[in-house]
Amino acid sequence: MPNDPLDARWQELVRLVEEQFWEHRQHPGGGVFKADRAQLRLSGILRDGGYFSVTLTEEQVLMGDLPRVANDFYKAYRAESDKP
């Protein structure tokens, strides 16, 4: 359904996460970031080739503070990525 509020919010969240990557000089379309709408999963690639992933609930996407969710995801991703 094109006017699905969950889809619209998900797209906005993905855009905000991509902005986080850009702000930190990482190209989100270069394979470092993946967004899985079906699973509501955000993933960032780690140095070892694995992924740091967060799976959200529909409620988090629909009712959450999307800028905060995007920022929290990116901070957690970077903390995991920076581990030796």
Domain that holds residue 45: 5-81
Three state DSSP letters for 20-58: HHHHCCCCHHHCCEEEECCCCEEEEECCCCCEEEEECCH
Residue 34 backbone dihedrals phi, psi, to 5 degrees: -130, 140
Which residues, at least 6 apart from 48, have a Cβ–Cβ distance to it below 8 Å?
none
pLDDT digits (tens, 9 = 90+) for 48-78: 889 999 999 999 999 999 999 999 999 999 9
pLDDT digits (tens, 9 = 90+) for 7-62: 999 999 999 999 998 988 776 666 789 999 999 999 999 888 899 999 999 999 99
> How many domains, in total, are found in the chain?
1
CA-to-CA separations, 40 to 17, 25, 49, in angstroms, rounded: 13, 25, 21
